[in-house]
Amino acid sequence: MSSSGVERRADLLAELQQAAQTSTTDGILFHQVIADRVGLHVTDLRCLNVLAQAGPLTAGELGQRLGLATTGAVTRMVDRLERAGYVRREVDPDDRRRVIIHSLPDRQAVIASLYQGIATGWDELLATYSDEQLRQFLDLFDRMHQMSQRQLAALHSPSSDDQTPPS
C-alpha cells in the first residue's frame, strides 16, 4: 500500500472510531432519556431489557449479565423495579433458596412503546442495505461484542487495577 493509501486508511479508521464513539454516546443518552421518562435508573432499564431478551432469571444471573459486582446492588435494583411494578419475584420451585425475577408484560409494553420510533427508524435505515452488507454488519457487531466482553472481563479481574485491558 502506498503512503497515501496508508494515510487514507488511517483517516478512515479514525473516522470509524469517532463514528462508533458518537453512536455509543447517542445510545447512552437515548437510554437515559427513556429511563428518566419512566422514572427508572438506566441500570434498571438495562435489567428489564435483559429480562425481555432472556426471560426470567435468578438474581445472580441478572447481576452477572449486568456486571453488578454485589448481591446488594442486585437486590436494591430488583426492589426498585418491584416497587415500581415492573418485575415480580418468585421462589424457585426446585431450590427455595433461589429467587427468580420475572418482568411484567404490561409494564414492559409501556417501555417498548417508547422505543417504537427508533425501531422504525432502524428498520427504514437497514432497508437501504443489501443482504451482503447486512451480513457484514452482523459480523462486525458480533466481533465488537466479543471484543467488548474481553475488555469487560479484563476490567473486572482483580489483577486489572494496574493494567491496560488487552485488545
* 90: β partners: 100
- The grid coordinates of residue 135 equal 451480513
What is the reported pLDDT for 166? 58
Burial 38-59, CB ≥16 within 10 A → b, else e: eebeebbbbbbbbbeeeeebeb
Pick from 134, 119, 51: nearest CA to 90? 51
DSSP for 43-95, please give it.
HHHHHHHHHHHH-SEEHHHHHHHHT---HHHHHHHHHHHHHTTSEEEEE-TT-
Please check the confidence at residue 163 and state whether its pLDDT lies above 60: no
3-state secondary structure of 99: strand
Burial 89-124, CB ≥16 within 10 A → b, else e: eeeeeeeeeeebbebbeebbeebeeeeeeeeeeeee
Please check the confidence at residue 69 and state whether its pLDDT lies above 90: no
CATH code given to domain 3-128: 1.10.10.10
What is the reported pLDDT for 135? 98
What is the reported pLDDT for 164? 59
Judge contact between 51 and 66, C-beta under 8 A: no
Please check the confidence at residue 167 and state whether its pLDDT lies above 70: no
Please check the confidence at residue 162 and state whether its pLDDT lies above 70: no
The predicted-structure confidence for 99-148, as pLDDT tens digits, reads as follows 999 999 999 999 999 999 999 999 999 999 999 999 999 999 999 999 99
* 99: β partners: 91
Confidence of residue 165 (pLDDT cuts 50, 70, 90): low
